Amino acid sequence: MSTSIVSLPRELPAGSARSLPMLDAVVEVLRAAGEHVHVVYAANGDKFKVVPDEQTA
């Protein structure tokens, strides 16, 4: 059985007050779908990114 998630943003601008609640929702949906992800801040581009846990090890 294959499940596909509607395209979710994986990057959002850090300066937007709406980014953090949106990121929380995206991470919650992805984790519910079985993905192991978390949010990191990327100074290059001043944005928050949702990344797989393996990417920061």
d(CA 4, CA 29): 12
pLDDT at 2 over 80: no
pLDDT level of residue 49 (50, 70, 90 thresholds): very high
Q: What percent of the chain has pLDDT over 90?
A: 63
CA distances from 44 to 22, 34, 47 (A): 20, 29, 8
pLDDT at 37 over 70: yes
pLDDT level of residue 56 (50, 70, 90 thresholds): low
Distant-in-sequence, close-in-space partners of 4: CB < 8 Å, separation ≥ 6? none
Q: What is the pLDDT of residues 11-25, one digit of tens each?
A: 999 988 889 899 999
pLDDT at 51 over 50: yes
